[in-house]
Structure 1
Amino acid sequence: MSPDDANAGYRRLFDRDGLTFGAGFPLTGTNRSTPAPGREIDLAKHAEAVGFDGLWARDVPTYWPKFGDAGQTFDTWPWLSHVAAHTDDIALGTSSVVLTLRHPLHVAKSAATVDQLSDGRLVLGVASGDRDPEYPAYDVDHEERGQLFRESVEAMRTVWREEFPELEGQWGALEGDLDVVPKPTTGTIPLLPTGYARQSQEWIADHGDGWLFYHLPERTLQNYLADWREAAGEKPFAIAIRVELADDPTAAPEPLHLGFHAGIEWFQDYFRRLEEYGLDHAIVGIQNDDKEAALSTFADEVIDTL
């Protein structure tokens, strides 16, 4: 997919040179219980106002305390519809829809609905899942994840692009007498496989519109980006990273799980390096208690300086 034929969300994230930034829900940091919707929306509007290019909602079907969190708690589709109604131009992303636990026709219809209601701002991160107890809960064979993921991608692409298609998979069959509506704003919705999703890099490069990955050490990220460019050309590469701003702007980095605690000066240099490596988008999970102030500081001192 090129930005010329992509929807508005994909263009907002990737239709220019350099690194763009998104913010990940829950923006309040409340990920084990239900966050306050009003506060989440206030922070979403603030992130858009200060210069973030994307807002990303995770898909966590069930809460498994051992894993540590329930995402933003609210179901992905009504939540993103709610966010769409309270924002203007910022891209809306999923990070990521667990295709193996969802019927692809339901995902296709829900995603196209949000895409239409948001004037084409939806970008779909898609995944095979990583919480073991969810598979028996949904009566899904854990060993079939790879095949189920591929079939879901094929099914969604087909019903978005074709009317009354014929298609068959483990999910069921379409025999040409049913259609799935609405259709997306641009004929399809961009898909970014997350991690490896039980696929090869070559499959992801061929079938994805980009690649969404987790936080990686710098040298590892450089190697991944080099391999990705060889396999996928200019298709974008994005990561998710946790950021906690130190009170001291000159503070050296300390590792967090999937991120860093550091001064803003270090983050300026860090993200400048990632941009030079060729990273296209970073989903930032702010860990500070004062979220609004931290979003503003990050936007002023990192986004604007890049």
Structure 2
Amino acid sequence: MKNQFNRAYRSVYQQNILTSGLFMPIEAFAKDVPVMDSQIDLAIRAEELGFKALWFRDIPLRDPNFGDVGQIFDPFVYMSYIASKTTEIALATGSMVLPLHHPIDILKAATSVDVLSSGRVILGVAAGDRPLEFPAFNIPYASREERFRDSILYMKSLQSAHFPVIHNPLGVMTNSDMLPKPYENTISIMTTGYAQQSLEWIAKNSDGWINFPRPLLKLQESINLWRKLTNPFGFKPYTQGLMLDLKEDNDAKALPIHLGFSAGKHHLIDYLHQIKRIGVNHIIFYLKLSKRPASEVMEQLGKEVLPYL
């Protein structure tokens, strides 16, 4: 009997467990474009250190005012290349901008990498937050809500059966099928933020929720509501990203930075224990704003922080 979720999902997500991952590139860079040095070696080392997932962002175009182009490459091309150099670590999109792509293209690319990597793909998706990109695709920015919802439902139908009959605003399928199918039963689809949808809709139609850092009380409220809404469907995990500037002084107090904080190891470990108790299942460290080399921070995280999880 096939598992309900694939190998990557089972590795990254378990109830009452907090696992960790890294956003690609594993690099500290002050401007919007990274150097991309030694990323393959760093990905291999991340796997050796015990990180459970590498996360790849979908940023089709450079907007110099936004301040970050991610890892530059097409996410699925890059994931496939890194899959060939690693063996266990999950490969996740964080996140594909669904309104800018057709759902068949997204799912075919995702399942291709999933099959080639023996089930290591998680599909994080979003509605997009860079208005500059949409005119280049001739897609109205205001259509994000509807296109995101239609794309999710289209991809779920594609995975549900061989030769599915689909009547969707984004396309009609009769007497045809998409290949390859996922390595196991399915590829998990995780929504980032609200994606212009209600949380009730996300709870019903996504396999998990990826969210941004928030004060602990607000985080507790969000997770409590998430658990209440997802309870009829079984366990659905909560993922949080975190911009991190890990200080050499292990006792350094926390100072806020964009989407995260600057702090020493002891504060970070305490914070991770708190969000684990609250119910976060996976945290993604992003080292872009690190004042120390990202490779050095990753080593410390792997050797001195992850064991406490």
* TM-score > 0.5 by shorter chain: yes
CA distance in 2, matches of 1:134, 1:36: 23
CA distance in 1, matches of 2:167, 2:67: 37
State the one-letter code of the partner of 1:68. Answer: G
Most deviating of 3-12 and 216-225:
3-12
CA distance in 2, matches of 1:140, 1:170: 14
Q: Does 1:12 align with 2:11?
A: yes
State the one-letter code of the partner of 1:40. Answer: Q
Map of 1:91 onto structure 2: 90
Change (3 A) 1:191 1:66: same
Q: Tell me by how many angstroms 1:293 deviates.
A: 1.9
Q: 1:213 aligns with which of 197, 211, 214?
A: 211
Map of 2:149 onto structure 1: 150
Q: 1:202 aligns with which of 180, 200, 209?
A: 200
Map of 1:62 onto structure 2: 61
Most deviating of 121-130 and 137-146:
137-146
Over residues 107-142 of structure 1, what are the superposed CA-to-partner deviations in whole Å (9 max), with x where a residue is unaligned?
111010011011101001100000011111111122
Q: Tell me by how many angstroms 1:229 deviates.
A: 0.8
Q: Does 1:193 align with 2:194?
A: no
List aligned pairs for 1:91-240, cutoff 5 A: 91-176=90-175, 178-233=176-231, 234-240=235-241
Measured on the aligned residues, the alpha-carbon RMSD in Å equals 1.6
Map of 1:28 onto structure 2: 27
CA distance in 2, matches of 1:259, 1:86: 30
Map of 2:248 onto structure 1: 247
Change (3 A) 1:231 1:16: closer
TM-score (norm 1): 0.95
Aligned length: 302
Unaligned runs of 5+ residues in structure 1 are: none
Give 3-state SS (helix, strand or coil) of 1:66's partner: coil
Q: Tell me by how many angstroms 1:289 deviates.
A: 3.2
Map of 2:305 onto structure 1: 302
Q: Does 1:272 align with 2:270?
A: no
Q: Answer whether contact 2:3 2:185 (CA < 8 A) is retained.
A: no
Unaligned runs of 5+ residues in structure 2 are: none
Q: Tell me by how many angstroms 1:262 deviates.
A: 0.4
Q: Tell me by how many angstroms 1:67 deviates.
A: 0.9
TM-score (norm 2): 0.94
CA distance in 2, matches of 1:134, 1:197: 16
Q: Tell me by how many angstroms 1:62 deviates.
A: 0.8
CA distance in 1, matches of 2:162, 2:306: 42
Q: Tell me by how many angstroms 1:165 deviates.
A: 2.2
Q: Does 1:289 align with 2:287?
A: no
Higher relative contact order (CA 8 A, sep 6+): 2
Give the 4+ runs in structure 1 shifted more than 4 A: none
Change (3 A) 1:187 1:280: same
